[in-house]
Amino acid sequence: MSSNSDPAPDRREFLRQAATVAGILALPAAARAAGAPAAQTPADESAAGGAGWLCFSPDEAAWVERLVDVLCPADELTPRGVDCGLAFFFDRQLAGAYGRGERLYLQGPWRPAIPEDGYQLPLTPEAYFKVGLKAAEEAARARHQRGFADLGAAEADAFLQLLAAGQLKTPHVNLAHWFDELVYPLFQQACFSDPIHGGNHDRVFWKMIGYPGLPAVNGLNMVKYRGKPFPGAKTPRSIEDFS
C-alpha cells in the first residue's frame, strides 16, 4: 500500500491561508491538493469531477483528501483518490439527501444495540461523519503530534489500519464502527458508482475491473461473449454519455 502522493509539507498552511481568500471554495479539489496558488491554477474541472465543497470545511476537506489518497494511492491502475473524484463524491453524498438522513428512521426511543441491529445512532450520516472525523483527528494528534492530513503516506495508512481494526480508542466514538458503517461504504461507492455522482472520474475504476457500463443491451452478447473477454469492458460508458 505504497503511495507516491505524499502531501506537500506546507499544504495545511496553504489551506489555512487560502481559506481566507474569497473564492477558494470554487477551486477544484485537485488544484488545492497540489498546493498551488489559486492564481496559477487553471480551473480544470475535469480533473476531479467537480469543484467546491458543499459539506466540508477546508480542514475537513484536507482530511478527506488525505483519506482517499491512502485508500486509493496512485499506481498503474488509477490516479490517486483525489484525482479520481473520491473526496468530491464524499462531499456531495454527505451534503445531499443521503447525508441528511433520507430513508433513515430517526425517531426514538434510542437504546444501546448490538452490531447486528445495524445503525442505531440519532445522527444523520453527515453529522456522524463529522463527529467521527473530529475524533479520528484527535486520535491522530495524540499519536503523531500532527494532524492526519499532515501524515506521510505510510504513516497515514498505518493509522487507518489501526483505526479500522478497532485499536484506536477515543472517549466515546467507536471509530472502527464509524469506518466500517460509514466511511468504507462511501469509499467503495465513490470508486464504483456512475461518474455522474462525482467519483469514478473518467470511469477509471470501471476500466480497472472491466465493467462495460451502459447501455448494457446484451441480447446478442449474452451468448456471443459467454466465457470470453467482453470487448466493451475496455471502454465503459456512463450515464453522461447517454444524456
Task: Report d(CA 11, CA 208) in Å as an integer.
Answer: 30
- Is residue 159 at the binding interface for another protein, with CB under 8 A as the rule? no
CB of 58 to another protein, least distance (A): 24
- Is residue 242 at the binding interface for another protein, with CB under 8 A as the rule? yes
- Is residue 176 at the binding interface for another protein, with CB under 8 A as the rule? no
The site that binds another protein (CB under 8 A) totals a number of residues, namely 68
Task: Report d(CA 24, CA 165) in Å as an integer.
Answer: 36
Q: What is the DSSP string of 49-68?
A: S-BS-SS--HHHHHHHHHHH
Which residues from 190-209 bind another protein, rule CB under 8 A?
192-194, 196-197, 205-206, 208-209
Show the DSSP H helices in 39-152 as ranges.
58-71, 86-95, 125-144
Which has the closest alpha carbon to 58: 16, 119, 3? 16
Show the DSSP H helices in 99-243 as ranges.
125-144, 153-164, 175-178, 184-192, 204-209, 221-224
- Is residue 164 at the binding interface for another protein, with CB under 8 A as the rule? yes
Q: Select from 118, 145, 171, 172 the one that contacts another protein (CB under 8 A).
A: 118
- Is residue 170 at the binding interface for another protein, with CB under 8 A as the rule? no
**Is 83:198 a contact under the CB 8 Å cutoff?**
no
- Is residue 131 at the binding interface for another protein, with CB under 8 A as the rule? no
Q: Select from 113, 146, 169, 231 the one that contacts another protein (CB under 8 A).
A: 113
- Is residue 77 at the binding interface for another protein, with CB under 8 A as the rule? yes
CB of 74 to another protein, least distance (A): 9
